[in-house]
Structure 1
Amino acid sequence: MRCDTLWHHAKLATLDAADGGLGEIQDGVVAARDGRIVHVGPADAAPAFDAATRVDCAGRWITPGLIDCHTHLVYAGNRAGEFEQRLNGVSYADIAKAGGGIVSTVRDTRQADEQALIAASLPRLDAMLAEGVTTLEIKSGYGLTLEHETKQLRVAKRLGELRRVEIAPTFLGAHAVPPGVEAQAYIDEVCATMIPAVAAQGLAEAVDVFCEHLAFSHAQAEQVFAAASAHGLKLKIHAEQLSNQHGAALAARCGALSADHIEHLDADGIAAMAAAGTVAVLLPGAFYFTRDTLVPPIAALRAAGVPLALATDSNPGTSPLTSPLLAMNMAATLFRMTVTECIAGFTREAARALGRQDRLGRLRAGFDCDLAIWDIDAPADLVYRMGFNPLHARVWRGQDA
């Protein structure tokens, strides 16, 4: 078999097992041609390869490249001062009244031009790439005007041109109500003006909405979904983070890819997600950083067969996290997710949450050759260690990245 590159003497976690496990192969090979995997399997059953390049992995583990399916990576400003204020007893409400909170990030992001946003975002992106990320979603949502939302989305696209990584851009104009604007009037603008413009410019592939008592109502989220669907955009939702607004059930009914956060998800929402195949995107970084105490209903989601994805939720206010490895550990320790669920959450199920399950998230012939090669003894090391990065090499589309 002809291939461009053959990785051999490797242990594989294919994430392609019929039982939903890690799909471990103790002595395996991966072969790629033209950026795609052409063969995966045990070495003793592999065909003869005519490989331009052979990479001896010396017994290292190979997983699919990691996928971060929920980030707010593009923004300006820093809210470390607010974090310190909260540690000193100042309430979030008082911080917001003083011009802090999301309003401060919106203000800083509006003031920054595209070059400044690129400069601010690249270090965050590079931190993720250094831990094996090969695909990530980037949401807008800190502009809250058409001009500045599209600016964020253009920056997200530019980041994918500056680094060897795939960016999944999501329009989150319905992230918060801008100061001095009535919520319904703003949603009308999002639906009538912003979504059509974003779709026409090809700046996003999905639309997200924050369905919450301090953001947008169930009816307003449904309005956003209708506008997005009319323009051929995929759907996602921030749901049930602070209260149960039944956003996850709405997402399932409307065919959304995922419902994210979902700490307050109820049994009806779980049943709706299971029936529709809607992915649950769990965000332990935000749970940890906000000192939440209501754990998402992991056992019930698991029992219902709802796909469980994980993400960093990288953002300046509630999850300033750029480490998928630490997010895995948080999911295991705080949510009691298994090692297999944590690794699948950042590979196979994260691909599903982005609608890319047909070509990403597993080691399978025909899939894009995005790999993470690790200096570890066993896959559990990726979840067990804290503050330790065992990445040996990152491969994107068949080439070292």
Structure 2
Amino acid sequence: MQGAALLTGLTAATMQGDDNAYGLIPDAAIAVGDGKILWVGPLSGCPADHLALPHHPHEGRLVTPALIDCHTHIVHGGHRAREFEMRLEGASYEDIARAGGGIISTVTATRDASLDDLIATALPRIDALIGEGVSTVEIKSGYGLDLETELNMLRAARALEQARAITVKTTFLGAHAVPAGMDADTYIDTICLPALDAAHGEGLVDAVDGFCEGIAFTPAQIARVFDRARALDLPVKLHAEQLSHLGGTALAAKYNALSADHIEYANESDAAAMAGAGTVAVLLPGAFYTLHETQMPPVDALRHHDVPIALATDWNPGSSPMGSLLLAMNMGCTLFGLTPAEALGSTTRNAALALGLTDRGTITPGQRADLAIWNVEHPAELSYRFGFNPLHQRIHEGTL
């Protein structure tokens, strides 16, 4: 069996069971082989065949599932530091967008970048996430808004998976903004849908997303994109209810979306619809913080309806230039009131669900051996500190 080993001397946060529990196993051992978890439990109960494997002691460290960043925009050109200044000088997100800034300014920089440029500038971002124990990351397009640049963004995302030991899930976000000088419906017909077809034809798309907002696309327009995704047998997700309540969350639920993301303006009815559709709520505290938002996502309603909650960085050059999933966990607790157990579940088990993945996110026999080993005593420490990275070792597909 390839790479077979027994990891010992661990406190295992298996993330199995209740959302408010870590599924802790003290003095745990984990047997891995062929990139999978073979067994987990107290060392005292380890089967003899696993005890015979090479031992890798860890001196009481904590092990969790490797982290999953389920919403990022890390492939792009340029930066928007000047817009950061503008916001501090009083301009709103909508003001900047309507003046040709925001997403459109990144579109210009991304169109000017070559494929090699996009890969080279994204690699340090991938490395930063890997350095915090991330083993799976979602990367969206959406800064091209023309066919070739959208394809190049997705090609770059696929190339990152070849350049680093990380799983990349790609999301087509052609319906991210409307290019200058074009109306939304014409853009969808002449650029967005043809680009989706072309990207799917190249095998570049794992899911389809859209930005349903007053400064972007209406629910009816997003529905047209989702209809094409459905025809291509691609799952959907949606930026919904970030700045206002347009009905995007209900639309996402209607299409059984993998996730509805942001959702600050979602309500109790939206939470019930998400629960019925099996849609994960992806909360993005980096954007909430950067934009000085005050409308809180409906965390209590999500809990009441048992909607899985995920957290992600939303790493992008404008509204969330945040490259730390550990910081997102802290913000999820301090800004949104999640518990540390919910925060860890939101970046492991529930983040996997938000990407449609069932083979990772918990420490369970048969799951991928994607693990993170930490220099901490208790899993709450991962959310408690900020500006501090306690990662000891990341294990990707069982590679020690």
TM-score class, shorter-chain normalisation, is over 0.9
Return the alpha-carbon distance in structure 1 between the equivalents of residues 90 and 280 of structure 2: 36
Q: How does 1:189-228 map to 2 (within 5 A)?
A: 189-190=190-191, 192-228=193-229
Q: How far apart in 1 are the matches of 2:217 and 2:144?
A: 17
Compare 91-100 and 131-140 and name the one that shifted more: 91-100
- 2:371 paired residue number: 371
How far residue 142 of structure 1 moved from its aligned partner, in angstroms, is 0.3
State the partner residue of 2:356: 355
Cα shift at 1:84: 1.7
How far does residue 229 in structure 1 lie from its aligned partner after superposition? 0.7
After superposition, what is the alpha-carbon deviation per residue over 1:309-368, rounded to whole angstroms, capped at 9, x for unaligned? 110000000000110110001010000001111000000000000000x20100011111
After superposition, give the CA deviation of every residue in 1:161-211 in whole Å (9 maximum; x if it has no partner): 111000000000000001111101111235641221111111011000111
- What letter matches 1:26 in structure 2? P
Q: Distance in 2 between matches of 1:89 and 1:100?
A: 15
Q: What is aligned with 1:390?
A: 390
Contact 1:270 1:300 (C-alpha < 8 Å) held by counterparts: yes
Counterpart secondary structure, 1:316 = coil
Is the contact between residue 69 and residue 311 of structure 1 (CA under 8 Å) also seen in structure 2? yes
Structure 1 distance, partners of 2:2, 2:115, is 43
Paired residues for 1:60-75 under 5 Å: 60-75=61-76
Q: Is the 8 A contact 2:175 2:192 kept in 1?
A: no
Give SS of 2:47's match: coil
Question: Quick one: structure 1 residues 99 and 137, their matched pair in 2 at CA, closer, same or farther if it must change by over 3 Å?
Answer: same
1:271-282 residue pairs with structure 2 within 5 A? 271-282=272-283
Whichever residue aligns with residue 371 of structure 2, its letter is L
CA–CA separation in structure 1 for the residues paired with 2:221 and 2:20: 37
User: Separation in 2 of the partners of 1:192 and 1:372?
Assistant: 39
Counterpart of 2:105 in structure 1 is: 104
1:313 and 2:314 correspond: yes
Could you say which residue in structure 1 is the equivalent of 2:296?
Answer: 295
2:321 partner letter: P
Distance 2:224 2:212 in 1: 11
Residue of structure 1 in register with 2:230 after alignment? 229
Does the 8 Å contact 2:146/2:192 carry over to 1? no
Opposite residue 61 of structure 2, the aligned amino acid is: R
Specify the SS of the correspondent of 1:242: coil
Write the mapping of 1:23-172 to structure 2, written as runs, cut at 5 A: 23-48=23-48, 49=50, 53-92=54-93, 95-96=96-97, 99-172=100-173
Inter-partner Cα distance in structure 2 for 1:310 and 1:19: 14
Identity of aligned residues (%): 53
Q: What is the CA–CA distance in structure 2 between the aligned matches of 1:130 and 1:265, rounded to whole Å?
A: 34
In structure 1, C-alpha distance between the alignment counterparts of 2:101 and 2:53, rounded to whole Å: 56
CA contact (8 A) 2:267 2:301 kept: no
Supply the distance in 2 between the matched residues of 1:44 and 1:2 (Cα, whole angstroms). 25
Q: CA deviation at 1:216?
A: 0.4
Q: 1:3 to 1:390 in 2, by over 3 A?
A: same
2:70–2:137 Cα contact (<8 Å) kept: yes
Length, aligned pairs only: 399
Structure 2 residue matching 1:59: 3-state secondary structure: strand
Distance 2:38 2:18 in 1: 19
**Cα gap change, 1:191/1:179 in structure 2, threshold over 3 Å: closer, same or farther?**
closer
| Shift in CA distance, 8/128, structure 1 to aligned 2, threshold 3 Å | same
Gaps of 5+ in 2: none
- Cα 1:175–1:362 change in 2 (3 A) is same
**Structure 1 residues 150 and 182: alpha-carbon distance in aligned structure 2, compared to 1, 3 A threshold:** same
| 2:347 match | 346
Q: In the TM superposition, what whole-angstrom CA distance separates every residue of 1:120-162 from its partner, at most 9, and x where no partner exists?
A: 1111111111000000100000000110000000000000111
Question: Which residue does 2:267 correspond to in 1?
Answer: 266
Residues 146, 31 of structure 1: alpha-carbon distance in 2 compared, 3 angstrom cutoff: same
Q: Is the 8 A contact 2:10 2:28 kept in 1?
A: yes
Contact residue 19 and residue 345 of structure 2 kept, 8 A: no
Q: 1:2 to 1:79 in 2, by over 3 A?
A: closer
CA distance in structure 2 between the aligned counterparts of 1:246 and 1:97, rounded to whole angstroms: 22
- On the 8 A contact 2:20/2:342 being kept in 1, the answer is no
Using the alignment, how far apart are the partners of 1:204 and 1:385 within structure 2? 36
Greater shift in the superposed pair: 269-278 or 164-173: 269-278
Of 105-114 and 87-96, more deviation after overlay is shown by 87-96
Q: What TM-score, normalized to structure 2? A: 0.96
